[in-house]
Structure formats: structure tokens, C-alpha cells
Homo-oligomer: A and B are copies of this chain.
Amino acid sequence: MGVTTKDLARICGVSLGTIDRAFRNRPGIKTETRDRILAAAREYGYKPNLLARNLKFQRTGDIGLVVHDLENEFFAQLVNAIQEIAWKRDCFLQIAISRRDHQRERAALEHMAGRNVDGILLFPAGKGEDFDAFLTGLDRPIVTIANKVSPLWPFVGLSDRPVMRRLTEAVIAKGYRRLVFVGPLEARSEGINLYEIEERYAGFVEAVDAAPGVERHLAAGGDYLEQVCALGLKEARTAVLCCSDIFALELLNDFRGRGLSVPGDVGLAGFDSIDALRFISPRITTVEYPIQKMGELAFELLAAGQVGAELPQIELEPKILWGESI
């Protein structure tokens, strides 16, 4: 155990009150006494016990951040962006990973709430009434990011559906007659929050269904590579639109293995604009995710403490970044 205020009081021959006055720069203490105490503190390596302090204050200055994963560069960038703001605001970030797993997400959230974080930024894996109730029970300010849970919670995300519609329309305009959407929607039944993917798919569907004579396909399972290739890609002018860049990269690799050229034999687009795309050729068409801005907004919303119970639902407008892949 380290040195406590009590120890210091004994060492310096003063009372606890005086120790506190010294550390917290409160008036009513001789400068000399203060100096003596601070010197002793340094000498004995006093470190305040934040648990005790926070228990007293009922606030910690920490905020919790829960994300799905870190290996997807997208999340890494998001965490970094938020971390940066938190640092500027002199606020400590507690980061936890849910792995898109309900149990873990809840465990992490519960843990953070128990630790009295002042607020939580959540990239949700869960949804539904149960989840709403659970979040309410945490009794903390929460801001949801990217995946909407319900209008009960302040939200910062993307206008996923319109942008995907625009992208799809543009692809159709380029002459593609068969469009495939790739996204892990097969997990839908399990109560997993797939808001973004569903929205993107919806935008895709809207665009294709408005275009006469264009085929629409969905590759939703873990075997999406096989599903896509089973279509016989060379038979029609086919474009594959992925709900995220990592799927596009996997497909590109697979196409290469099969001797299919992009965009010669098949068109390909991703979503998120992860940094790794810089190294890939052909340059993949994707959608720029305003991660920085999203992180900042989410943080602001949390810090502002949604006064007046407004529960803002913000949708940022992303840009389409045209590459050479479609």
C-alpha cells in the first residue's frame, strides 16, 4: 500500500483537514505548513487514491467508450479521434471492446456504470426494448454512435441510406445491370444491432428497384465469397457493393485468385474509406466516413449533457470517393 493522507498527517504532525487544505489549495493554511506538507508528500511518494476521491465526489471525470472491435481499422480511427478530444478536455477515456457480443457489451457497460463514469459513448451491438431498459437502468448519460438503438438515445451517425442510394444510382448509370450487396445481414434474427448495414441495404434496394431491368442480389452470409462468385460474374455486367471496405478487400483478393479483373470483369465498391485502401490497387471506390467529426460531435453531445431532453439525432452526410474499381 502507498502513503495515505492519514499517514501524511501523522508524519507532518497535523490533522487531515490541513493535509487537504494543502493539496486542494484551499485557503486557511500557512504557506509554510503547505510547503512542508507538499515536500513530505513528494518525499514519501504520496499518490492520491482516486477511488476514494471519486467515491466522495460521485463523479470521476472518466467517460466510457464501447466499440465492437479494434482490428477493423475503422474503429481504431474512431477511438483515436475520440481519445484526442478527451485528452484535450482533460478527461480520461475508458475503452472497452464488445466484439459485437451482447454479453460482453452489457458486462462492459455495467462495469463502467459501476465505476461511475460520467458518461458513455456507445457503438452499440444490442437493440430492442430489453436493451433500452438495460441502458436506462445504467442511469448515465449515453450517446449512441453509428448504430441507432432507439430515439430514446442521443445519436450521431451517417445518412447511410441516402448515400447508398446515390452510390447505387451512380453505379447503375455507369451501365451495370446486375448489382450485388454484400453485408452480414444474416445475423438479423439474433437481435444484433445491424442498423447501419440495414440502412445501407435499404438504400441499395430503393435505387435498384427504381431502375427497370436491373437485377438485385444479396450476399449476406459468412460464405459471401462463394455466393458472389456463384452468380457467374462474367455473364452479366455485375457490380458488387459492400457494406464495408474490409469485405471489398476480401473480394478483391478472391477475384484475383480466380483471374477476374476489377473493374474489367466486375465492378467493386466498399464503404468506410479505411486507410489501408491507400495501398491497394486498383483504387477502390468507397464512401468517406467522417470519423473525426462523428467522434467530436458525439463527445460534445455527451459533454453538453443533452439539456432539455432534446435527444438530438444527428446524421452526417458522407462523400462518395470514386476510385477505379467500378
Residues of A in contact with B (beta carbons under 8 Å apart)? 1-2, 45, 47-52, 54-55, 58, 60, 69-71, 73, 76-77, 79-80, 83, 87, 92-97, 104, 108, 110-111, 113-116, 137-139, 249, 252-253, 256, 275-276, 278-281
A47 B110 Cβ-Cβ under 8 A: yes
The reply to whether B58 and A55 form a contact with Cβ atoms under 8 Å apart is: no
Most chain B Cβ neighbours within 10 Å, of A60, A92, A278, A281: A92
CA distance A2 to B57 in the complex (A): 14
| Residues on the B chain within 8 Å of A79, using CB | 70, 97
Nearest residue (CB) in B for A275 is B71
Among residues of B, the one whose C-beta sits closest to the C-beta of A136 is B45
Which of A60, A115, A256 counts the most chain B CB atoms within 10 A?
Answer: A115
Name A80's contact: one of B54, B70, B93, B280 (CB within 8 Å).
B70
Classify the secondary structure of A's interface with B.
helix
Q: How far is the CB of A91 from chain B (nearest CB, A)?
A: 11
Cβ–Cβ contact B83 & A50, under 8 A: no
Q: Which residues of B contact A108 (CB under 8 A)?
A: 92
Which residue of B is nearest A97, CB measured? Answer: B83
- Quick check: B49 and A116 within 8 Å, CB to CB? yes
A249→B280 CA distance, assembly (Å): 10
Say how far A230's CB is from chain B's closest CB, in angstroms: 23
Q: Do B139 and A2 touch across chains, with their CB atoms under 8 A apart?
A: yes
Chain B positions within 8 Å of A275 at CB level: 71
User: Do A93 and B96 have beta carbons less than 8 Å apart?
Assistant: yes
Tell me the bound Cα distance from A98 to B136 in angstroms.
Answer: 33
Cα distance, A76 to B94, chains bound together (Å)? 16
Which residue, A97, A249, A275, has most C-beta atoms of chain B within 10 A? A97
B-chain residues with CB within 8 Å of residue A51 when the two chains form the complex:
51, 54-55, 60, 114-116
Chain B residues near A77: list those with CB within 8 A.
71
Give the nearest-CB partner of A71 in chain B.
B76
